[in-house]
Amino acid sequence: MPLMTGIVGLPNVGKSTLFNAITQAGAESANYPFCTIDPNVGVVDVPDERLQRLAEIFQPQRIVPTTFQFVDIAGLVKGASRGEGLGNKFLSHIREVDAIIHVVRCFEDENITHVAGKVDPASDIETINLELVLADLETVEKRKDRVERQKKSGDKQAMLEHDILVRLQAALAEGRPARSVELDKEEKQLIKSLNLLTMKNVLYAANVSEEDVARADENPHVQTVKRIAAGEGAGVVTISAQVEAEIAELEEEEKKLFLQELGLETSGLDRLISAAYRLLGLITYFTAGEKEVRAWTIREGTKAPQAAGVIHSDFERGFIRAEVTAYQDLMACGSMAVAREQGLIRLEGKDYVVRDGDIITFRFAV
């Protein structure tokens, strides 16, 4: 199943506008709460300049980037954990995604209604975080009651899980997210089925006006978001959803000129997509030849056979070895022939951990 990042936030903060710009999927966007009731899912190419440079060397018939899924989720309001607004549906949709992009309104516009009547990023963030915490607290308490009964029978796993739940309950009761509790790999596996909302990694998207896009760091609302994110260990990408929506309609050359006029090197969307990709601990490896140059997504730490399995299950089942060249080595050599002459094409076995940027040819037999 492909990994997904959910775009969340209060109503009318620019979620759907941003989603449209990312995917050009035409999600409905309007100036009233709950416009987005059912989540819209869009697939987007992950920007990677390495693909083009590899294409210059291999001259392939086609170039295939790796992709990423974004989900536009309905706006949340205070009381969602108790079912207010579209609360229950909203929360269930968040449970299905792997990470969260929290869009925060950082612009003033009297023509766009704010659900709380004023633009206040700190309050907006607190509203959503509190609802997620309250929903998780209810989940943990229900599970804890059930595990306590199992614990009385001497179930060792129940005893271990109970200890974890006590720690989680204490953190959530203090308003802290579940991810703030230090858990080892085994402990995380024990409570994985809870699918806690606040266990998911968060990236804040500070949505600014077109006027502020080139000087976003001076925006006091953006400064507030960055301060809160720093306290949570979360990342921040400053973006103007409206500007990105306009850029998305331009041809490539027009896009470059527009970005130059705004004083930007890259679009906010490219930065957001790349940041979301890293948020999930993903890396890219490449396969390259005359037919195609293609990027593949794997989790950081994936070994060669499992990386091969992303291409086809037969590659993993019949894995023999991987012929690996580091991207930087190939760029320095200028061709695979030179890289081979210089001994920069390595033969790796089943225990090899694939690195970001590896160019790989898999050998297999089934």
Please state the domain extents for the chain. 4-279, 301-364
At the top level of CATH, the class of 4-279 is: alpha beta
Antiparallel, parallel or unpaired: β 346-348 and 319-325: antiparallel
CATH superfamily assigned to domain 301-364: Beta-grasp domain (3.10.20.30)
- The whole-number pLDDT of residue 75 equals 59
Name the binding residues.
Answer: 12-17
How does pLDDT run across 28-86, given as a tens digit for each residue?
Answer: 444 444 444 456 788 888 889 999 999 999 999 999 999 888 888 765 555 544 544 44
Name the binding residues for ATP.
Answer: 12-17
Higher pLDDT, 35 or 281: 281
Written as six digits, the tokens of 278 are 């890293």
* CB half-sphere exposure, 19, CA atoms < 13 A: 30
Mean pLDDT of 106-131: 82
How does pLDDT run across 283-297, given as a tens digit for each residue?
Answer: 999 999 999 999 999
Partners of 287 in beta bridges: 294
Written as six digits, the tokens of 345 are 């094409």
DSSP states of 124-172: HHHHHHHHHHHHHHHHHHHHHHHHHHHHTTT-HHHHHHHHHHHHHHHHH
Higher pLDDT, 267 or 207: 207
- The whole-number pLDDT of residue 34 equals 40
Mean pLDDT of 79-99: 63
Task: Report the share of the chain in percent with pLDDT over 90.
Answer: 49
- The whole-number pLDDT of residue 333 equals 96
Written as six digits, the tokens of 237 are 């990408």
Q: Please name the residue ranges forming H helices in 191-312.
A: 220-232, 241-248, 252-262, 268-279, 304-311
Q: E strand or H helix at 295, and its extent? A: strand 292-299
Residue 116 — pLDDT band, cuts 50, 70, 90? low
Q: How far apart are CA 351 and CA 354, in angstroms?
A: 9
The phi and psi torsions of 65 (rounded to 5 degrees) equal: -75, 160
